[in-house]
Structure 1
Amino acid sequence: MSDQENITQDFFGYRLIRDELIPDLLGTHTKDILYWAGKKIARSYACSNEGEIIAFFERAEWGVLSIIKQKNDEIHFELSGNVVEDRIKHNDPVFTLEAGFIAEQIAMIKQYQTEAVYTRNKKNCVQIELKWDQRDPYSMPLRKAGL
């Protein structure tokens, strides 16, 4: 078996759940629910800086995350790697789970409300752009009783 076949086989189960089962279960709400789920996961696995976010992506096998641009109130990441390429090759995947995760991490680090959007580029990579509003302080979402 070639390296490429091994990579495809390694990600098959992940792709099956993430890009076929979940969208079937969630329907038109897939993007929104995955964004919220990414934020929830971020609160459970808080990172103290961008380097820890990058390391989390590697550990979670979500792809290779790198910072490509940073300004006063925004940061741009690129998500690439075999898992991203494999998902794009086999489906029209959404990356709102990853975007939501990064948005919440950056909000907790910067202490400002942060939103993220993603776009796919021609290199089979995903660009995730985050912006925060320095007039809108971050506050941890409240948990409902019984949850």
Structure 2
Amino acid sequence: MSEMLEVKEQETLSETVPVFGYELIREVLLPDILGEETPKILYWAGKNLARKYPLKSASEIITFFKQAGWGDLRVVKESKNEQILELSSEMIVNRMKTNGKTTFQLEAGFLAQQYEGQKQVITEAFEHPKKRSAKVQFTIKWDMKDFA
């Protein structure tokens, strides 16, 4: 894992952020500031974060999600040109219950950029919130002929 991530891990061991504070920023403040462009901007913000924290493998991505407090990420299915991941956490359950317009584009953008960096081809990620199970599936797609 990158040295930056290891340093961040040490810094966060002794501190925690209340979920309420995180949700205030993510679900209230950012949409108020960004308006209807919130999902698009969050996607690009996720890509930007991924460039600052480049990871070498899917297992590092899974660890990053856990450390960032984004939830438990797992690979559901993998094929030649796509991968399906599932994200779950108690916070996601609460976000889906309290906010019908919640978006996971920050995470999608982060995933797209990580896979693009690892595979060296143009990659996109799509979110699929599953309200019944209170989980989010992400479809990551790439074309091995479309070099980044």
Category of TM-score, reference length = shorter chain: 0.7 to 0.9
| Separation of aligned partners in 2, 1:132 and 1:124 | 26
2:144 to 134, 139, 142: 134
Give TM-score scaled by structure 1 length: 0.86
Percent pairwise identity:
45
Give TM-score scaled by structure 2 length: 0.85
Alignment of 1:14-53 (within 5 A): 14-53=22-61
Q: Deviations over 1:42-98 (max 9, x none)?
A: 000010000000000000001111110000010000010112112112213100000
Ranges in structure 1 where 5+ consecutive residues have no aligned partner: 1-8, 139-147
> Would you say the 8 A contact 1:63–1:80 is kept in 2?
yes
Partner of 2:110: 101
| Separation of aligned partners in 1, 2:34 and 2:114 | 24
Matched, 1:57 2:103: no
* Runs ≥4 residues deviating over 6 A: none
How many corresponding residue pairs?
Answer: 130
> Would you say the 8 A contact 1:102–1:116 is kept in 2?
yes
Ranges in structure 2 where 5+ consecutive residues have no aligned partner: 1-16
> Would you say the 8 A contact 1:11–1:86 is kept in 2?
no
Matched, 1:79 2:87: yes
Q: Deviations over 1:15-47 (max 9, x none)?
A: 110011101100011010000000000000010
Q: Deviations over 1:86-117 (max 9, x none)?
A: 21122131000000000000000111100011
Q: CA deviation at 1:133?
A: 1.0
Q: CA deviation at 1:130?
A: 0.6
Counterpart AA for 1:130: I
Partner of 1:124: 134
| Separation of aligned partners in 1, 2:67 and 2:24 | 20
| Separation of aligned partners in 1, 2:31 and 2:145 | 35
